[in-house]
Structure 1
């Protein structure tokens, strides 16, 4: 099961060679994660601004397979690979028209913003995460 976010590669995303400048992928990845949380009913506005939690990246590994270019419509397919006590393991496959462009392995840690300490993922959020992966 997965969640998909689409991104049209714009001029601001590419370097002088006309391909996506690799740091821009990290912004696309973050937008995918933000949209995924919003889709399960816990947007960053509530999580961070109201409730004082966060989900910083603890680890990330990206294997680039092929370049993306201006006007490509890339799809970032998020898959939950591990749901721990206070962390979430994700894989995000970035594709365009069936061609794999990059594979991302990422771990997010659920923290209390005050003190930046990992905390247990609340049961209601855990249930929403599990449900989102079943329904996709």
Structure 2
């Protein structure tokens, strides 16, 4: 099942013409990823402080289709596409006003915050991630 959430595109996220400044999208996307992990029972505070696990991005491929404008409500759709030993492959679709603005293929990796090396997903986290694995097209997620 895909994770869905919305975020406003604020004045500070845009260039002087009112169009989204693309680095702002990345900052917003990090917040969406943090909310996804919380939704499956693993807040970043628990991961970072208690379990010493980080989830840095190691690959991010964005395709921009239409500009986002100040005041848009961005609709994020996050689909889990693969769970590896330490990796997590995600697809994102971001829309506003019923139109897709951009898409992304995203890989994060579980790492030890003590050694800064990849580590295998712990069984409880792997089970939660795997339970959200999507086998349908991210643009038409299973409902």
Per the shorter chain, which TM-score range? over 0.9
Q: Secondary structure at the match of 2:94?
A: strand
Q: Secondary structure at the match of 1:118?
A: coil
- Give the corresponding residue for 2:9: 9
Query: Aligned ranges for residues 58-97 of structure 1 at < 5 Å?
Result: 58-97=58-97
- State the alpha-carbon separation in 2 of the partners of residues 88 and 97 from structure 1: 29
Q: Tell whether the 8 Å contact from 2:82 to 2:133 is kept in structure 1 after alignment.
A: no
Residue 133 of structure 1: CA displacement?
Answer: 4.7
Q: Secondary structure at the match of 2:85?
A: coil
Is 1:25 matched up with 2:57? no
- State the alpha-carbon separation in 2 of the partners of residues 129 and 107 from structure 1: 13
Q: Which runs of 5 or more residues in structure 2 are unaligned?
A: 135-141
TM-score (norm 2): 0.90
TM-score (norm 1): 0.95
- State the alpha-carbon separation in 1 of the partners of residues 70 and 17 from structure 2: 10
Residue 115 of structure 1: CA displacement?
Answer: 1.2
Matched residue pairs, number? Answer: 136
- Deviations for 1:74-122, whole angstroms, at most 9, x for unmatched residues? 1110001111010000000011122010011110000111111111001
Q: Secondary structure at the match of 1:48?
A: helix
The more displaced of 123-132 and 66-75 is 123-132
- Give the corresponding residue for 2:129: 129
Q: Which runs of 5 or more residues in structure 1 are unaligned?
A: none
- Give the corresponding residue for 2:39: 39
- State the alpha-carbon separation in 2 of the partners of residues 73 and 50 from structure 1: 34
Q: Tell whether the 8 Å contact from 1:76 to 1:92 is kept in structure 2 after alignment.
A: yes
